[in-house]
Structures are given as C-alpha cells and as structure tokens.
Chain A
Amino acid sequence: MLEIITSPISFFILLSLFFIGAMGSLLLGKDDALANIWSSFFAIVGSLWGLLFSLSTIISGDALSFTDGVSPFPLLSLSLHIDMLSAIFIFIISLIILFCSIYGAGYVKHFYKKYNIGALGFFYHLFIAGMLLVVTASNGLFFLIAWEIMSIASYFLVVYDRNEKNNINAGFLYLVMTHIGTAFIIISFLLLYKFTGSFDFEAIKTGAILIPSSVKNVIFVFALIGFGTKAGIVPFHIWLPAAHPAAPSHVSALMSGVMIKTGIFMMIRLFLDILQPVPAWWGLTVLVVGAISSLLGVLYALTEHDIKRLLAYHSIENIGIILLGIGSALTFSSLGMQSLALLGLVAALFHTLNHATFKSLLFLSAGSVINQTHTRNMEEYGGLIKYMPQTAFFFLIGAMAISALPPFNGFFSEWMTFQSLFQGIISLNFSTRWIFILAAGALAFTGGLALTCFVKAFGATFLARPRSAEVTHSKESSFPLLAGMGALATLSLLFGIFSGQLTFFLEKAGNSLGIFQAAPSLVSLSRGKVLTVGNGFASVSGLAFLTLFLAVIFIVVFITQFIINKRQKIKIGATWDCGTDLTSRMEITTTGFARSIVLIFKGILKPSIQHEIEYHDSESRYLPKSRTVILGARDIHQSYFYQPLHKIVNALSLRVKNIQSGNINVYILYIFIALLITLFVIL
C-alpha cells in the first residue's frame, strides 16, 4: 500500500486533482456557487491526498525520481525528484492548502456576483500545482516553467479584486519584482549549465566540483537575490507588503504561509545540497541578511496600521528568522561541523512549518475581520472581541505563537534557532563568533518587538470600544471560516507540544541531504519528552510548558473567581468617567502605541509627522475644532534605493526611446549592426 501511495503515479494523481479543479472551475464559471463548491472540493481532496503522499514518503524514507524520456527538447525534461526535503515541503503546502481551502469555501461567497469565481478557482489551483512542481522539479528549465506558473497564477490572484486601483498597482509591482528575481535565477542556472553541461539538478550536483570558486560565488549571490526576492528578504521585500494585502485573504495566507517558502526551499536545495562544499562567507552573509530582515521586518510592522500589511511585514521578519537557521547551517557545514549544521537546518525547517501555520491563521483571522468591517485600517477597529469572540480567540493564539510565547509552536522553533546560534558562539573563532552574537541579539530583539507589535494588533482590533460604526454591525464568522482558523490554531498548539517528535521528523529530512548523511544528531528526546540540545547544553519540553500554561491559567481564574470575588457582591453600573463621557476617542490608537518605539528607531524608520488642525473660526484661529496627528514611516529602501533606481531607469528609457524612430530602414540598420557585432564577437 505504501509503495502505491509513494509512487510517481500517486504524485501525478495529486497534480491531476488540481488540474481538474482548475479546469472545472473555469467551465463552471457562470454559476458562482457551483464553481466555488467544485474548486473547494478538489482543493480539499487534493490537499488531503498531498498530506497522505508526503507523510507516506517521509515514513518510507525513500526518494522518488521520475524522468519523462520522450521530451522533444534536448535540455528540458519533465524531471521530478522527491526526497525527504521535498516531501516536507509538500506536507507544509498541503497542510496549509487544506485549511485555507476550507476557509475559502465560505470566504469567497462575498465575491459572488461581483467577480468571476471560476477564474479565482482556476488560478488558485494553478498556483497550488505550480508550488508543488517547484519543490519537486529536478531539471532547471522545468523548474523555471513551474516557477513561472506559480508566479503568474499568484499575480492574477493578487489583482483578483480589480476594482481597487491599489491592488492593480500592487500586482504590477509584484510582477516586476518577481521577474527581476527570475532573471537572477536564470543567470545562475545558465552559469551552472555552462560549467556542468546540464540543467539536471543531479548532474549539476555531480559536476559542481568543476565550477570555479569565483563563478560559484557569483551563482550564490545571484541565487540569493533571485530566491530571496521571492522569499521577501530585505531589500528585495518591497512587493510583499503591497501584494499580500491585495489578494483575497485565504490566498494571502497561502502566499505568506507557503509561497515565499519556495524561495527558502531552493536556497536549502542549492546551498546545502547541490553546491556543497561552500565557503564560510556564504553562511555568514545569509546570517547577516537574516538578522537585518528580521529586525527591519518587525520594525516596519510596528509602524503599520493596515492589519494585512502588518502581517506581511511579519512575514519578512520570520523569513529572516528562518535565514538565521540556514545561515548557521551553512557556516557550520563549511567548517566541517555537520552535527551543528544539521541543528541549524532543523531549526530553519521547523520555523518554516510553524510560520506557515500561525501566519496562515493570522491572515485568515484578519480576513474574517476585514470581511465584517470592510476596512484594513486597525484605527477603525476596536472592541471586536464582543462581536467576534471565536475569531478573537484564534487571532490571539496566532499572535501568541508568532510572538514565540510557550506552549505554542513559534517558541520552540525560535528556541532551536537560538540554540544553533549559541552553539556557534561557544564553538567558533573570534570574528565569526561576533556575527553569531549579533544574530542572536537581533533574534532576541525581534522576539520582543514582535510581542509588542501583536499586543498592539490584538489590543487595537479586539479590545476596548468600537472606533467605527462598521464594528458594531460585525457578526461572528461562518462555520467554514471558523473551522479553517480553529484547525490552524489547534495545530499551532499541537506543533508546540509535540515539538520534540516533530524535530526528529525534520532531522530525518535533513539527513537525506548528502552532507548530513553521516552527521550524528545533537538533539535528543528523553522519556519525559524533554528535548535536549548538545549533551545537556539546553533543554525544553512542550508538555511541561503546556502543564505550566494550564496551571497558570487555572490559578489566575481560580484566584479571580473564588478568592478575590468571593466576598464581593457583583454590582453592574456605569464606569466612573471623571465626569466626562467615555468614548473611543480616549483609547490609545495603534499609532500612539507604537509611537515611542518608532521614535527610538527614527534613524532607521525616518518617520514623518503631519499635524492638521481644524478651527471653529478659520479666520481667528483661536478655538480648534479637531486636531489630527498622522505618523507615517516610509520604507527607507523605497526612498533611498528604489525611487532613485526608478528615476535612473526612467531617464535611460527616455533616452532609449530616441532610437524608436518609426522608420523601417533604421530598424533594419539596428539588425544589421547587431548582426555584424555578433559575427565580430563570435568569429
């Protein structure tokens, strides 16, 4: 049975389910409800099949290879290779798709009669199939086709809500950035082809020794930029806060939770598998990029009052945390410390899984809130816990998980990343050690700021009083939406409690990579399910934290209910308000909450403060009617990198436009000159 499930046919059935889902949705496009049912059904069945397939592959431990021998193109072949690493990513993709699709079945109803639901289903399924092919392709050209399917399908999903002009702009930015990234990937693949004579990943791996080290370094930089652009590393992240909020929420969850991880997957595949051995500076560069991305990501998130943009910036932060694990793994592997490298990789993989879970949960919860309030501006929320208590509870779990609070999963993967960095601090030389110290400091700082940010997000959204009329009309989400969120919230807890067992699964995936096959594990799990790193260097237990967590809750509830309130009679009356009416204007806003931190980091964030005063009498200007303070922070990369770059490209384009004369003779002259130059160069 296991053999059948882990066969190539099984994987093609998986792809076929999404293909049928895509085509069926398109054909049923005229009937919104039917298209939605068809699309959701095949997405759910497909994801269940994907989970079964990936889990069976992980359990069997065998790699699966498939090559189509009848390709008419000499360099392109339909070539797939599914090892444990690919299986882990198929598992993550399928898991998130399952719950996003359950959620989506209810969520897309508000698009009925507004947009074509069939088209949404078509691109949704195409997007999923693209992601699955990306993590399984083992031929460079075939990979690029899959990469493009994923990118183009996601572009159409970003601009799905096309009546919003901002969404169209966001989609365009995404399209441009993703293709800049693809250009870098193509150059790195062409360089690999030049020195190994093949686009096949296995052949490249075998021939990697033939690549001169200088070329290998260029390939590393180009691949880091190319895949980093998709992953959202700083400074190539600018598309992410624009595109993720624009897409429908269950698609945002998939893009943020899963799609950006395909960039991470390829970094692991290239740097830790195909191009091994690698120099130490690769790992240190990835560490620095990770530290900067995590820190800047969370700082920008703090300045946001758009709930989806806030979450998108947290994706950049978490990609940074994952890169800290990969960076330490690369550094250790280049220094021959394979066990420590394996620890770093496991930390990165674990955080990839965890981030996929809690970030999807947060995007889905945010989607439910937006669905009810019709705005993404957190300043207009407030008091939603009364109207949407279950959504608030799920958001709280997601917020706790992303803030790395035990017993939720985010804590355990960040803990493991810390252990990997600490191991570097105690075992590396002076200069390298300092980079690890700074990376660990950045991670600690990031954790604290993430917690602050989610206190702001949860408080401003769900607590206090409603700050707009829309909130008072809000209702709890429907069952499919709650089911999707509830399942992800449960997983966030379970992945934390069973972090020890999961670690071993992920370590098995790491061991499937050539350099880790003989690496002894630094992680051990005791009978009491205590996870220990490096001969008692540090220990943690999911179950112990759960017990402590429940005990604290119990004690707090018990003390409040039975000891403090026991002798007091409950009297319900109006809150004392110092003689003035309590209004939502007296609440602290998200801007106000973050102001002190934004001002501390004003050197980086470059905030702009805008005061607006409206007077009762505009001529005398003595009595102010209303006073507005707008605190904004513009992404410095946009101001100091992209805008000047845009100006240069624009100026160059205007100059280049001069060659566009409209005269056929001139065009033929260009061809003639190009031909002569080519002949001179190649002959």
Chain B
Amino acid sequence: MNILTLQFLLEIVFGTIVLLHITKKNVGAALAYGLQSLAITAILFGYFFETSNLSLLFIALLVLIVKVILAPVFFIKLIQKHELTFSVSTLISQIKTLIIIAVLTFFAHSQKFAPLTGIFPANQVLLSLAFSAMLLSLFLLINRKGALSQIIGILSLENSIVAFTIFAGLERSPALQLGIIFNIFIWLIIAIVFVSMIYKHFGSLDITTMNKLKD
C-alpha cells in the first residue's frame, strides 16, 4: 500500500483521538471510535491486498464486524439506555487539552524517542504518529471523567498499539491479530456489564462520584 495512503489512514486514527478529546457528546465519541477502527481495518485490508494472505482477510473482516460495527452499536445502545447522550466531563479546559495534545505530539516526534520510532526506519514518520496516538489515548483516559469515554479511550489505545506494531513490522501474524480481536470482544462484554453495574450502583457514570471506592 502506498505510504501516503497509510499515512492518511493513520492520520484518521490520530484525528479521531483528537476528536475524542474535544467531543462533548458520547454518541460522537462512539462514532469517532467506529471511524478509527475503520481506518485500522483499511490498513489490514491493504496488507491483505499486498500479500493475498486469506487469513489476513479473515482478520480484517473480523475487525470490521467487532470494532467497526458491533462495538459502536453496543455503545450507542448503552448511551440510549442510560440517556448519556451529553457529557462535558473533562478535567481540564479544552484549550489546555489542545496545548497538551500538541506538546505530547511534539514529544512523540522528538529525537529523544528516535530509538523507539526508528525501529523500522522506512516507517519512522508513521511510527511517530502511531506513538503520539498512543500517548494521546492515555491522556484521554486521564482527562475524561465519564466511564464510557474511558472505555473508548482504552479501546483507542489498543487501536494505536495495533497500528504501531503493524508499522513496526512486529505484528502481522494472523494468530496474534485473532488473539487481540478475541481480547477486545471479551473486553467489550466485561465493560458493558461493568458500566451497567456502576450506573445501577452510583446512578452516574461520572467516576468522580465513585468516592466510596477510596480506602
């Protein structure tokens, strides 16, 4: 696949994480995650067309079903069930958030991390972008108050890691991909059960209200 196409797809992943940071609607976050997963699926399809490996096609289809269709649908249903359509819950203001995003992206592209991003020299730009996506996903977990946003943040982090490992040439094995899909699937089930339980117990998904967890 053309490097520019790959870069474009990865920029979609990166862009959706920025969107996850600034979106004020939970539905928007779920859709952004769906779009992000679609970009990852497109990358996997691209590798299938390059290698004609049928198992990669199988994996790409599975990712499409689980991450692009099932996960966002689950989230939207959950949002509708608990009426969580609107959430402005970030810990720091939007401007500060954008500044930190810029700083983290700058750090990820700095020479300090060259040993990490230079693991596959031909893809260094892509790896830097994937690495900054990882850092931004982690920051999303820190910045967001809503449990749902945090769940999407973890899944987004997983997408970033998958992208990084693909471009680093570490993880194109179908078996490993299958393992990751299975992992995500289980994660989704557990997350949804937990979210329902948390909502039932605390009457909110704002994690700052869960003070009884302390001590």
Q: Which residues of B contact A664 (CB under 8 A)?
A: 150, 207, 210, 213
Q: Which residues of A contact B150 (CB under 8 A)?
A: 664
A668 x B141 contact (CB < 8 A) = yes
Main SS class of interface, A: helix
What total of chain B residues lie within 8 Å of the partner, measured CB to CB?
21
CB-nearest residue of chain A relative to B112? A683
A665 x B91 contact (CB < 8 A) = yes
Nearest chain A CB to B12's CB is how many angstroms away? Answer: 24
A664-683: contact bitstring with B at CB < 8 Å (1 yes, 0 no)?
11001101100100011001
Nearest chain B CB to A565's CB is how many angstroms away? Answer: 78
Q: Does B116 contact A (CB under 8 A)?
A: yes
A679 x B113 contact (CB < 8 A) = yes
Q: Does B138 contact A (CB under 8 A)?
A: yes
CB-nearest residue of chain B relative to A680? B112
Q: Which residues of B contact A675 (CB under 8 A)?
A: 138
Measured CA separation A316–B153 after assembly (Å) = 58
Q: Does B50 contact A (CB under 8 A)?
A: no
B122-163: contact bitstring with A at CB < 8 Å (1 yes, 0 no)?
000000000000000011011111000010000000000000
Q: Which residues of A contact B112 (CB under 8 A)?
A: 680, 683
Q: Does B83 contact A (CB under 8 A)?
A: no
B185-215: contact bitstring with A at CB < 8 Å (1 yes, 0 no)?
0000000000000000000000110110111
Nearest chain B CB to A532's CB is how many angstroms away? Answer: 68
CB-nearest residue of chain A relative to B90? A665
Per the 8 Å Cβ criterion, residues 634-683 of A in contact with B are 660-665, 668-669, 671-672, 675, 679-680, 683
Nearest chain A CB to B198's CB is how many angstroms away? Answer: 11
Q: Does B179 contact A (CB under 8 A)?
A: no
B113 x A672 contact (CB < 8 A) = no
CB-nearest residue of chain A relative to B114? A683
Measured CA separation A680–B115 after assembly (Å) = 11
Q: Which residue of the partner chain, among B115, B116, B138, B213, contacts A672 with CB atoms under 8 Å?
A: B138
Known A-B contacts A679-B116, A683-B113, A683-B115; A661 and B138 likewise in contact (beta carbons under 8 Å): no
Known A-B contacts A683-B115, A683-B116; A665 and B141 likewise in contact (beta carbons under 8 Å): yes
A663 x B208 contact (CB < 8 A) = yes
CB-nearest residue of chain A relative to B207? A664
Known A-B contacts A680-B112, A683-B116; A663 and B207 likewise in contact (beta carbons under 8 Å): yes
CB-nearest residue of chain A relative to B138? A672
Measured CA separation A664–B141 after assembly (Å) = 9
Nearest chain B CB to A673's CB is how many angstroms away? Answer: 10
A661 x B116 contact (CB < 8 A) = no
Q: Which residues of B contact A671 (CB under 8 A)?
A: 138
CB-nearest residue of chain A relative to B131? A679
B51-91: contact bitstring with A at CB < 8 Å (1 yes, 0 no)?
00000000000000000000000000000000000000001
Measured CA separation A672–B104 after assembly (Å) = 12
Query: Which size class do A's interface residues fall under?
Result: 10 to 19
B214 x A665 contact (CB < 8 A) = no
Nearest chain A CB to B145's CB is how many angstroms away? Answer: 7
B139 x A665 contact (CB < 8 A) = no
B214 x A660 contact (CB < 8 A) = yes
B113 x A669 contact (CB < 8 A) = no
A665 x B116 contact (CB < 8 A) = no
Per the 8 Å Cβ criterion, residues 83-107 of B in contact with A are 91
Nearest chain B CB to A229's CB is how many angstroms away? Answer: 32
B214 x A672 contact (CB < 8 A) = no
Nearest chain B CB to A194's CB is how many angstroms away? Answer: 21
Nearest chain A CB to B214's CB is how many angstroms away? Answer: 3
B116 x A662 contact (CB < 8 A) = no
Measured CA separation A671–B134 after assembly (Å) = 13
Measured CA separation A662–B138 after assembly (Å) = 19
Measured CA separation A683–B117 after assembly (Å) = 11
A662 x B211 contact (CB < 8 A) = yes
Known A-B contacts A679-B113, A679-B116, A683-B112; A662 and B215 likewise in contact (beta carbons under 8 Å): yes
Measured CA separation A683–B112 after assembly (Å) = 7
Q: Which residues of B contact A679 (CB under 8 A)?
A: 113, 116
Q: Which residues of B contact A669 (CB under 8 A)?
A: 142
Known A-B contacts A680-B112, A683-B112; A672 and B139 likewise in contact (beta carbons under 8 Å): yes
A661 x B214 contact (CB < 8 A) = yes
CB-nearest residue of chain A relative to B212? A662
Q: Which residues of B contact A672 (CB under 8 A)?
A: 138-139, 142
Q: Which residues of B contact A680 (CB under 8 A)?
A: 112
Measured CA separation A671–B137 after assembly (Å) = 13
Nearest chain A CB to B128's CB is how many angstroms away? Answer: 13
Per the 8 Å Cβ criterion, residues 161-194 of B in contact with A are none
Q: Which residues of A contact B215 (CB under 8 A)?
A: 660, 662
A665 x B142 contact (CB < 8 A) = yes
Q: Which residue of the partner chain, among B113, B114, B207, contacts A665 with CB atoms under 8 Å?
A: B207
A668 x B138 contact (CB < 8 A) = yes
Nearest chain B CB to A681's CB is how many angstroms away? Answer: 11
B143 x A665 contact (CB < 8 A) = yes
CB-nearest residue of chain B relative to A672? B138
Q: Which residues of A contact B114 (CB under 8 A)?
A: 683
Measured CA separation A658–B47 after assembly (Å) = 49
Q: Which residues of B contact A660 (CB under 8 A)?
A: 214-215
CB-nearest residue of chain B relative to A682? B115
CB-nearest residue of chain A relative to B211? A662
Known A-B contacts A660-B214, A683-B113, A683-B116; A668 and B142 likewise in contact (beta carbons under 8 Å): yes
Measured CA separation A357–B141 after assembly (Å) = 63
Measured CA separation A675–B138 after assembly (Å) = 10
Measured CA separation A662–B208 after assembly (Å) = 9
B145 x A665 contact (CB < 8 A) = yes
Measured CA separation A664–B91 after assembly (Å) = 12
Q: Which residues of A contact B139 (CB under 8 A)?
A: 672
Measured CA separation A675–B113 after assembly (Å) = 13
Per the 8 Å Cβ criterion, residues 315-354 of A in contact with B are none
Q: Which residues of B contact A663 (CB under 8 A)?
A: 207-208
Q: Which residues of A contact B143 (CB under 8 A)?
A: 665
Q: Which residues of A contact B91 (CB under 8 A)?
A: 665
CB-nearest residue of chain B relative to A662? B214
Nearest chain A CB to B6's CB is how many angstroms away? Answer: 24
Measured CA separation A679–B132 after assembly (Å) = 13
Measured CA separation A197–B214 after assembly (Å) = 43
Q: Which residues of B contact A665 (CB under 8 A)?
A: 91, 141-145, 207
Measured CA separation A663–B147 after assembly (Å) = 12
Measured CA separation A664–B208 after assembly (Å) = 8
Measured CA separation A680–B112 after assembly (Å) = 7
The 8 A-B residue pairs with the shortest CB-CB distance, nearest first, are A662-B214, A668-B141, A669-B142, A668-B142, A683-B115, A672-B138, A664-B207, A665-B142
- A and B contact pairs by CB, cutoff 8 A, 16 listed: A662-B214, A663-B207, A664-B207, A665-B141, A665-B142, A665-B143, A665-B207, A669-B142, A672-B138, A672-B142, A675-B138, A680-B112, A683-B112, A683-B114, A683-B115, A683-B116
- Beyond the given pairs A662-B214, A669-B142, 17 more chain A to chain B contacts, judged by CB atoms under 8 angstroms and listed by A's residue number, are A661-B214, A662-B213, A662-B215, A663-B208, A664-B213, A665-B142, A665-B143, A665-B145, A665-B207, A668-B138, A671-B138, A672-B139, A680-B112, A683-B113, A683-B114, A683-B115, A683-B116
**Which residues of B come within 8 Å of A, CB atoms?**
91, 112-116, 138-139, 141-145, 150, 207-208, 210-211, 213-215
